[in-house]
Homo-oligomer: A and B are copies of this chain.
């Protein structure tokens, strides 16, 4: 079976877990603490980041967007109209644009600082960069998330799903990043009702179930985290 090296609260890893679940693909999940820079992991991905997918008889596929393209190239056609990267090049542009938006821009401005400061730092020793959470970084991220929710709401007022008429990687990527933040209770759901309605729909996909059972030792999830009627 395929192995996914991931961290349960790495938003990029969550994107791939959701995507594989939509495709009906099973895999073994191996938890990696990327900040430890384990030698065996660096051989799989010299960049040292999660997620990394290893399929039998194959070299490693490192990085969420590289894995998403790989999964589409090797399984996409068989999914028919449930394909997560649509057929037409123009529709693919919009999906990839939004995967970049959430996987890079939202990640840099919101999910990576929050996950690093509030979750990863609990487990990082000083020699791996551990320190107390940076309150200014947390404050900035919690402010930035508001305009991203508005942007989701803006898109959803025009379309059924983020990138168009059907569920795509764009929805799964955005929801994955938001889900990690939602665990900490840092998503201001009153900001945009369309964004909230869209997230409720993505959250009810079967792939979300295993994400909802992940726990940070010593840190309870926010009450809305696993609630489908939040």
Which A residues lie at the B interface, using CB under 8 A? 46-47, 58-59, 61-63, 65-66, 69-70, 73-74, 89-90, 92-93, 96-97, 100-101, 104-105, 151
Contacts and interface: CB of A to CB of B under 8 A. Distances in A.
A22 to B, nearest CB: 19
Nearest to A53: B93
Contacts of A89: 70, 73-74
26 contacts: A46-B101, A46-B151, A47-B100, A47-B101, A47-B105, A58-B90, A59-B90, A59-B93, A61-B93, A63-B96, A63-B97, A63-B100, A65-B65, A65-B96, A65-B100, A66-B93, A66-B96, A66-B97, A66-B100, A69-B69, A69-B92, A70-B89, A70-B92, A73-B92, A74-B89, A104-B104
Nearest to A155: B46
Contacts of A100: 47, 63, 65-66
A172 to B, nearest CB: 17
- Ranked nearest first, the 9 interchain pairs of A and B with the lowest CB-CB distance are A73-B89, A66-B96, A61-B93, A63-B100, A66-B97, A74-B89, A70-B93, A62-B97, A66-B93
A50 to B, nearest CB: 14
Nearest to A49: B105
A30 B71 CA distance: 36
